[in-house]
């Protein structure tokens, strides 16, 4: 099968927001697949804040994207040719596919590919039933261990993961305070059942937190890091849990971020701060998907997707996560 692939490769390490000149869009004729391989036609790409970190040369849980390498990203595609007995033509698969129109996964990458049932719109599968939902589910329930009546604060609350965390926390009987940017996002969170919402763009977050968290903070699900984390630490209760999911406020800066100056609050309050990676939970993904499916059917989960179009728009789509333009789960339809 003769296929022409379009792919974005990294040409230089970006500073701040990415620019088109940091990359090159290349067209190439793909080779024929070998025994054991499959050819995937990518349909939707997922855009997540961690992708910006992969473009730096800083150490992380995955190696940095190398110069002249395809930009790494998750996505969903359809197998259009297979020489692997575990996959058939027409199968929808989810995994690391990269900023490109077609993909021949390596043997190791193919082992991590997950078949996706063709029963719901692909954007929904890539959102609440994909890594977004799994991240929110295990980050809150396994790491945060919420109990009924506790106060849960979520930053980046209108983002794909944050919104899921807020709604799962409500299902578990918690009082939820969401922090988001802009009137529209805050209004949407209220529609999702969030008890209190703080607009960090138009209010003083420390003051608002003090007013709203009258009984202190038991769980903080942190997606942004920076000054908001510091503000929360002053208000945590004894045995509070700080769930470190992301630090988007630090991903585009040129300098190392300044850490919270009040980490001693963890000692005073005998609190726990723990980072986690969704990669560690993929073996248990069915647990999350089963519960999320039930909650969605019961009308307890709302979600929305921000879908850009065209492989040529990958850099601009990534930037939407850092400019606040995205409305829900950010993805791109190829």
Contacts of 60 (CB under 8 A, 6+ apart): 53, 54
- Collapsing DSSP states into helix, strand and coil, what is residue 82? strand
- Both 156 and 222 in one domain: the answer is yes
Do residues 102 and 189 share a domain? no
Residue 95 and residue 162 share a domain: no
* CATH number, domain containing residue 22: 3.90.180.10
Q: What's the pTM?
A: 0.90
In a domain, 75, yes or no: yes
Q: For position 258, which CATH number holds?
A: 3.40.50.720
Strands (E), the chain: 4-10, 23-29, 38-46, 74-82, 92-96, 102-103, 114-115, 151-155, 175-180, 196-199, 217-222, 236-244, 272-275, 305-309, 329-333
Residue 296 in any domain: the answer is: no
Same domain, 32 and 171: no
The answer to the question of residue 291 being in a domain is: no
CA-closest candidate to residue 46, choices 95, 109, 88, 7: 95
Considering the domain boundaries, does residue 13 fall inside one?
yes
Q: Same domain for 200 and 329? A: no
Same structural domain for residues 201 and 254?
yes
Residue 232, domain extent: 131-279
Are 83 and 147 part of one and the same domain?
no
Same domain, 316 and 269: no
**Together in a domain, 197 and 150:** yes
Q: For the chain, what is the mean pLDDT?
A: 94
Same domain, 109 and 222: no
Contacts of residue 135, defined as CB under 8 A and 6 or more positions apart, other chains included, come to 161, 164, 245, 278
Residues of the chain predicted below pLDDT 50: none
121 domain-assigned: yes
Residues 106 and 147 in one domain: no
Q: What is the pLDDT of residue 252?
A: 62
How many domains does one find in the chain? 2
Closest CA to 174 of 196, 191, 157: 196
Find out whether 251 and 322 touch, Cβ atoms under 8 Å.
yes
Instruction: State pLDDT tens for residues 93-128.
Output: 999 999 999 999 999 999 889 898 888 899 999 999
pLDDT at 119: 80
Whether 157 is covered by a domain: the verdict is yes
How many whole angstroms separate alpha carbon 79 and alpha carbon 81? 6
Beta strand pairing status for 114-115 and 92-96?
Answer: antiparallel
307 and 265 part of one domain? no
Residue 289 inside a domain? The answer is no
How do 74-82 and 38-46 pair as beta strands?
antiparallel
Please say which residue of 264, 279, 294 terminates a domain: 279
> In the beta sheet, which residues pair with residue 67?
none
Task: Answer yes or no: is 293 within a domain.
Answer: no
């Amino acid at each position: 099968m003769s296929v022409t692939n379009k792919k974005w490769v990294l040409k230089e390490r970006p500073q701040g927001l990415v620019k088109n000149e940091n990359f090159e869009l290349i067209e190439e004729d793909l080779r024929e697949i070998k025994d054991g391989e499959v050819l995937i036609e990518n349909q939707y790409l997922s855009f997540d804040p961690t992708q910006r970190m992969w473009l730096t040369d800083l150490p992380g849980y995955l190696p940095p994207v190398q110069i002249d390498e395809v930009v790494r990203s998750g996505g969903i595609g359809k197998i259009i040719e297979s020489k692997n007995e575990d996959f058939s033509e027409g199968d929808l698969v989810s995994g690391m596919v990269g900023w490109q129109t077609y993909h021949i996964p390596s043997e190791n990458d193919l082992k991590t590919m997950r078949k996706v049932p063709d029963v719901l719109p692909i954007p929904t599968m890539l959102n609440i039933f994909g890594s977004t939902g799994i991240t929110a589910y295990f980050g809150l329930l396994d790491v945060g261990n919420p109990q009924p009546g506790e106060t849960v604060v979520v930053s980046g609350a209108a983002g794909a993961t944050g919104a899921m965390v807020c709604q799962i926390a409500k299902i578990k009987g918690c009082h939820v305070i969401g922090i988001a940017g802009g009137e529209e996002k805050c209004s949407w969170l209220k529609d999702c059942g969030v008890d209190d919402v703080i607009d960090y763009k138009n209010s003083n977050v420390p003051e608002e937190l003090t007013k709203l968290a009258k009984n202190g903070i038991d769980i903080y699900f942190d997606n942004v890091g920076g000054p908001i984390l510091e503000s929360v630490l002053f208000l945590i209760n004894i045995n509070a849990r700080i769930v470190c999911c992301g630090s988007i406020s630090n991903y585009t800066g040129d300098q190392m971020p300044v850490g919270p100056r009040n980490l001693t609050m963890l000692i005073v309050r005998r609190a726990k701060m723990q980072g986690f990676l969704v990669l560690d939970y993929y073996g248990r993904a069915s647990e999350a998907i089963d519960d999320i499916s039930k909650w969605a059917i019961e009308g307890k989960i709302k979600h929305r997707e921000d879908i850009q179009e065209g492989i040529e728009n990958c850099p601009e789509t990534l930037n939407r996560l850092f400019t606040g333009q995205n409305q829900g789960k950010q993805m791109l339809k190829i």
